Structure 1
Amino acid sequence: MSSSILSKALQATSLLASTTLVALSIATVALVTHYSESMDASYPEGSYTYYGPDGSPARREYWEEYDAGNRDFNKVYMQYVTSNDVWVLNPKTAGSRFPWVLACSIFFGLAAFAMSLTSTIITFETKKRLEREACIPSAAYSYYNPYFDCTRELAACSIFKMLSSGYDNHSQQICSEAQASRKMLIPSLVCAVVLISTWIAQAVVSKKGADAEADRRVQDLQEQKQVQ
């Protein structure tokens, strides 16, 4: 493959990667904005009645005890950890604000990679930590610790179905949007890696092409001298 064809192929690849990164940025900003506003409007931080997991033995036992007059409604308190929402938006905002720079500058490719990698690690680790420590269903049964510290995603996906007397389709929709926005960090990371790789490859191809051109000119000059 000639250097010119390879260079064009690399340019097309970098353009595709940067365009995909911008598209992911726009989609993620829209998703995070929508599910955050929906969550704060429909399920704000504060006090909720605990019913138990829908259809579970614990829920049936709870209502049997309530009907018998042996217990009152439990109250739990929801608090949101919003750092994950910010980290999901971080690399996306940079990508959507400077799409043309990302397409033509390896510096911003490195920045997108660093932010995407950092955001991916932090958001997934935060989710795992809260699932183990502060956003677990069993906490609702404790009279001394009726607090949930959850990301909006964990609250919508795991907790609010236990704070409703029936199936809550709205929280499931919010859950899907939150999961999708967080998982978009992975293809964003891949696009950033592709951007960096193609720009490095373009630099190498360009240098080799320049060296070959210089060698050709030297050879032409030498041949001209020999003819004279």
Structure 2
Amino acid sequence: MDQIKRYAVYYAPPAGEFADRAAEWLGWDAARGLAVVQPDLGLPAAEITRDPRKYGFHGTIRAPFRLGEGVDFPALDQALTALAARLAPVRLDGLRLESLGGFLALVPEGDESPLLELAAEVVSALDPLRAPLTATEIAKRRPERLSFRQRQLLEIWGYPYVMEEFRFHLTLTDRLADPGPVAAVLRDHFAPVLPRPFPIGDLCLFGEGQDGQFRILHRYTLSG
């Protein structure tokens, strides 16, 4: 794991039609670590999926972080194994497509409280393993644009959108000037494969390779 620049804990769908369709749309299969041909939907797919393609199809639980000094992959693996053993799976009603500040994403339907609690536990439990943010990393978060509370969370947890600011979503596009036409196409494209109900049964450890692409390294079954 010496070639991994950063780690992240994400939700990623298990193998199946949903995972395949999402990977094809983004042009990157994080499970196999391979670029895939994007579908011809009459959209400039390659141009409007640049940002999410890097990360692979996912829902953030613990945003990307570098391991702290003296922390290695086995320590991270052990922590995630223990964490998953005590956390219960989450089950939501389903997913729907929404525009979030101009970018399109799938967001959960139903009571999100168990998911919010899960995410908070993952963030707090893994925090001792991450390296402190550098000045450059802080600047990339544009702290001047964050709320006071978000700046506090950035300082405490290394990411501004955690705890009460956490909003689970699975990103499908870059920010768009007019998301409406793209949304209409993607809503039809994903409708046949969207899970209903929507279960989260494991935590996925992703790693950022030297090429800047994120890949799934391991799945940890939630069995608490």
Q: TM-score range by the shorter chain?
A: under 0.3
TM-score, normalisation: structure 1: 0.24
TM-score, normalisation: structure 2: 0.24
Q: Which has the larger radius of gyration?
A: 1
Structure with the higher fraction of residues in strand conformation: 2
